A = this chain, B = another copy of it.
Amino acid sequence: MLFHVRMDVRLPHDMPEEKAAELKRVEKARAAELQQAGTWRHLWRIAGQYSNVSIFDVRDNDELHAVLSMLPLFPFMQIEVMALLRHPSSIRDGDR
């Protein structure tokens, strides 16, 4: 089941650089795991923003929330979720 998620990262200006670097490192590792597992199906950067647009493929809403709320950057992100489904005009097998 697919969800569209936009994440805007807002790190406090007074966060020590090492802490920020460590957060980004573990976030990146976690993102790689979730992509390999097929859960984080697409991940794009929005030009000019410290933000991404993502497509998640999860069993249900519970799994979506568990995945998002355990991301290392979760406390520093504003997140918007939209439930997606196959479009009747789609001809692409993967988009379901």
Contact = CB atoms under 8 A, between A and B. Distances in A.
Query: How many copies of this chain does the complex contain?
Result: 10
A83 B47 contact: yes
Interface residues of A, number: 51
Interface in A18-64: 27-28, 31-32, 35-36, 41-50, 52-53, 55, 60-62, 64
A85 B47 contact: yes
Contacts of A28: 88-89
Interface of A is mostly: mixed
A12 to B, nearest CB: 5
Contact of A81 (B48, B90, B91): B48
Contacts of A36: 91
Given A13-B12, A45-B65, A65-B48, A32 B85 contact: no
A79 B28 CA distance: 24
A91 B45 contact: no
